[in-house]
Amino acid sequence: MTASKDGQGLLKGSAKWWMLWVLLTVGGGVYLGTELFISEQKALFLPGQTTHGHHQIEMQCTVCHADGFNSEVVLQDACMNCHGDELDDAQDSHPRSKFTNPRNAELLNHLDARQCVACHVEHRPELITTMGVSQPINVCVHCHTDIGEDRPSHQGMEFNTCQSAGCHNFHDNRALYEDFLLAHADEPKTLSEPVRPLRNFSARYFDKSGLAERLTAEQILSRAPVIKQPIPENWAHSSHAAAAIECKDCHGNEASWKEKPEHTVCESCHENEVSTFLQGKHGMRLAQGLSPMTPAQSELNIHVEKSHQELTCNTCHTSHDFDTRKAAVDKCIGCHNDEHSNEYLRSPHYTLWRKELKGEAAPGTGVSCATCHMPATRKGSGSKGRIFVDHNQNANLRPNEKMIRSVCMNCHGLGFSIDALADPVLVEHNFPGDPSVHIESIDMAVERDEKRGKRESIYD
Amino acid sequence: MKKAAMIGVVVASSMLLSACGDEQAATTGISPQKYTDSLFAVMKADRTNYTKLIIKRLGPQGADAIKPHEYWEDLDNGAPLPAQMFRFGAEAVADMTTDFAYSLQSIWPINPQNAPKTPLEKEGLQFIVDNPGKNFYGEEDLGGVTYYTAVYPDVAVATPCIACHNAHKDSPRTDFEMGDVMGGVVIRVPL
């Protein structure tokens, strides 16, 4: 009996342990399952912090990894899904297709340039450079080892300086290729007519909508909704009012009324602006169906009081006045609290902006934050071309030479632009004067051209 | 019963036909040389047509509506040069399949990256220069894969071709004449 009692006791004790094991397993499984499939936060499954460009969406594993983790094709497709168009626009100097020919098989042993992740490794924060991604420093040597023979000016240069000295980029060389340097070799510091492109959305809208002209103040007043101020007042001063865009056009009718219209509503008219907003860091979370970004999620210095403000279209384009002048400066420096942003208010660019706002200078001559970081961009040529504000502020940010053609050269010569962007102190202090560095690429191009005989330029 | 018999006949016929098809394919399959020759014929035809029907007709020698130029993307009316169009075709094919690959190369390339690289490319490119009118065929191992490699001469057929190469500051040779072999089309098929 004693033995039997002991046996039952043991069984009872064992059952407790089994029960505990089952509870722990089920509990752990539920916790992990919730974390993996339901929760927006999946930090447990993150093998390492992601790069600056991806950290906002790093918990959306499937964006990059789709349904599995075993295929280079899936990863490569994911890269191209988001960045393919950008590479096309940049006239990518080294597209994947340059490396797929079997003649490059030996080269691929050194660097498999068919895969973006060969250079841009994820989940390895210790490898991230100032460019915001991991980047091999001497990648050029594998193919261009004999460059010194063809270009004596390059003899003795280290291969880790190709991309760091303001001369070349791996992907985007639109402002740096030799013929472009030659075509713009003699340009002055500031062009004779420094002016940024002006948006043509409004003009195109009036043409398309059949509205003869902007509504007059009286017409607007007669259409203003009888609701609490300042909404009617703000609306009355907006471009929406002038274009007869009324409450129902954004908020819907009584049955489908939306108190706070989402970006999809804006997109119905401002397609290019919204699509580029969703590509940039401000809108990339919305693009993935996540909650809007808040400045707290930024890795930059941000004014603390704005940390938890959600970023949607209306954050910068405040309803109902939608004043783009505020959106172009006030809203930027309202959040961004770094040296470059703060120094802007003391910069020559800001002086020009103030003059334009006061009507003392011609439209397009002022330089706001958006002028450089969300530049007015042409899509399509001729009269059908659209000039819209590219809201992907990262499209021309790094490497900063990407900014030369889309921004700097609207007002400045190529040589000055290259030098200015290559001077980190000047950039940090928001261009208060002349660059203290000189990049010799134009000099080298001119010297080589003179030695080997000038030839016709496309700009002649 | 009738239905079952009919299905049996259909299945048996399919099996027979499929077996015959396999046998036929094995005995009458296209040879690598015929395959690459055929590919080259298409490439050459397309390139000639682009040169004649687009560049010559719409370019400075025709309607002057487009400007063929090396940096065509920087011009509103820019058009890729025939050699660039050929390369874009090769890159687009590379995005679609690995069943074959091709490239335009030369012993005198404007871009050094288009110089022959593998020993067989060097031999083939030299062969077609030394033996005008002849193609070169061989096999080579690259990255652990054996390739059937064919090299076809790229002959100067239009004056703009030689004018551009002779005047280009990056061109290692400046005395091309009409009819000269300026380079070669290298086509590879994994065996």
The whole-number pLDDT of residue A41 equals: 65
Say if residue B124 is in the same domain as residue B38: yes
The whole-number pLDDT of residue A72 equals: 81
DSSP assignment of A54-80 equals: TGGGTT-THHHHTT-SS-HHHHHHHHH
CA distance between the termini of chain A: 110
Q: How confident is the model at residue A306 (pLDDT cuts 50, 70, 90)?
A: very high
Nearest chain B Cα distance for residue A53, angstroms = 26
Check pLDDT > 70 for residue A460.
no
Is A98–B168 a contact, with Cβ atoms under 8 angstroms apart? no
Positions in chain B whose pLDDT score sits under 50:
1-23, 25
Q: Nearest-CA neighbor of A93 among A167, A181, A174?
A: A174
Nearest to A101 among B76, B92, B94 (CB): B94
Determine the average pLDDT of the residues in A223-247.
84
Residue of B nearest to A101 (CA): B101
Q: How confident is the model at residue A451 (pLDDT cuts 50, 70, 90)?
A: confident
Buried b (16+ CB within 10 A) or exposed e, A160-174: eebbbebbbbbbbbb
**Residues in chain B closer than 8 A to A98 (CB atoms):** 91
Q: How confident is the model at residue A261 (pLDDT cuts 50, 70, 90)?
A: very high
Nearest chain B Cα distance for residue A234, angstroms = 41
Check pLDDT > 90 for residue A66.
no
**B105 contacts B184 by C-beta, under 8 angstroms:** yes
Say if residue B151 is in the same domain as residue B115: yes
The whole-number pLDDT of residue A10 equals: 63
The B-side interface with A (CB below 8 A) comprises 67, 69-71, 73-76, 78, 90-92, 94-95, 98, 101, 103, 112-113, 117-118, 121, 142-145, 147, 167-169, 186, 188, 190
Inform me whether the C-beta atom of residue A258 falls under 8 Å from chain B C-beta atoms.
no
Inform me whether the C-beta atom of residue A100 falls under 8 Å from chain B C-beta atoms.
yes
Determine the average pLDDT of the residues in A362-375.
98
Q: What are B55-90's pLDDT values in tens digits?
A: 999 999 899 999 999 999 999 899 999 999 999 999
- Count Cβ atoms below 10 Å from residue A375 Cβ, excluding itself: 21
Say if residue B39 is in the same domain as residue B19: no
Q: How confident is the model at residue A168 (pLDDT cuts 50, 70, 90)?
A: very high
Is B95–A96 a contact, with Cβ atoms under 8 angstroms apart? yes
Determine the average pLDDT of the residues in A374-400.
91
The whole-number pLDDT of residue A324 equals: 94
Say if residue B59 is in the same domain as residue B111: yes
Determine the average pLDDT of the residues in A441-446.
96
Inform me whether the C-beta atom of residue A65 falls under 8 Å from chain B C-beta atoms.
no
The whole-number pLDDT of residue A349 equals: 98
Inform me whether the C-beta atom of residue A145 falls under 8 Å from chain B C-beta atoms.
no
Per-chain mean pLDDT for chain A: 90
Secondary structure letter of residue A302 according to DSSP:
B
Is A455–B169 a contact, with Cβ atoms under 8 angstroms apart? yes
Residue of A nearest to B68 (CA): A458
The whole-number pLDDT of residue A285 equals: 96
The whole-number pLDDT of residue A208 equals: 79
- Using CA of residue A285, residue A290, residue A293, residue A298, what is the dihedral sign? negative
Say if residue B100 is in the same domain as residue B25: no
CA atoms of A34 and B179, how far apart (whole Å): 72
Say if residue B13 is in the same domain as residue B90: no
Q: What are A409-428's pLDDT values in tens digits?
A: 999 999 999 999 999 999 99
Number of domains in chain B: 2
**Residues in chain A closer than 8 A to B117 (CB atoms):** 103-104
Nearest to B117 among A97, A103, A146 (CB): A103
Nearest chain A Cα distance for residue B29, angstroms = 24
The whole-number pLDDT of residue A45 equals: 79
Determine the average pLDDT of the residues in A34-57.
81
CA atoms of B20 and A341, how far apart (whole Å): 76
Highest mean pLDDT out of A57-61, A64-68, A170-174, A238-242: A170-174
Is A102–B143 a contact, with Cβ atoms under 8 angstroms apart? yes
Q: What are A77-128's pLDDT values in tens digits?
A: 999 999 999 999 999 999 998 899 999 998 888 889 999 999 999 999 999 8
> What is the model's pTM?
0.87
**Residues in chain A closer than 8 A to B94 (CB atoms):** 97, 100-101
Check pLDDT > 50 for residue A135.
yes
Is B142–A103 a contact, with Cβ atoms under 8 angstroms apart? yes
Say if residue B105 is in the same domain as residue B89: yes
For B9, the domain range is: 1-29
Is A458–B71 a contact, with Cβ atoms under 8 angstroms apart? yes
Residue with more model confidence, A213 or B70: B70
Determine the average pLDDT of the residues in A301-305.
95
What is the percent of chain A where pLDDT is above 90?
A: 64
SS3 call for A246: coil
**Residues in chain A closer than 8 A to B184 (CB atoms):** none
Is B103–A97 a contact, with Cβ atoms under 8 angstroms apart? no
φ, ψ for residue A281 (rounded to 5)?
A: -65, -25
Say if residue B115 is in the same domain as residue B74: yes
Q: How confident is the model at residue A204 (pLDDT cuts 50, 70, 90)?
A: confident
Is B186–A103 a contact, with Cβ atoms under 8 angstroms apart? yes
CA atoms of A36 and A172, how far apart (whole Å): 38
Say if residue B77 is in the same domain as residue B38: yes
Say if residue B18 is in the same domain as residue B39: no
Is A453–B169 a contact, with Cβ atoms under 8 angstroms apart? yes
Say if residue B5 is in the same domain as residue B39: no
Check pLDDT > 90 for residue A213.
no
φ, ψ for residue B46 (rounded to 5)?
A: -65, -40
Say if residue B85 is in the same domain as residue B144: yes
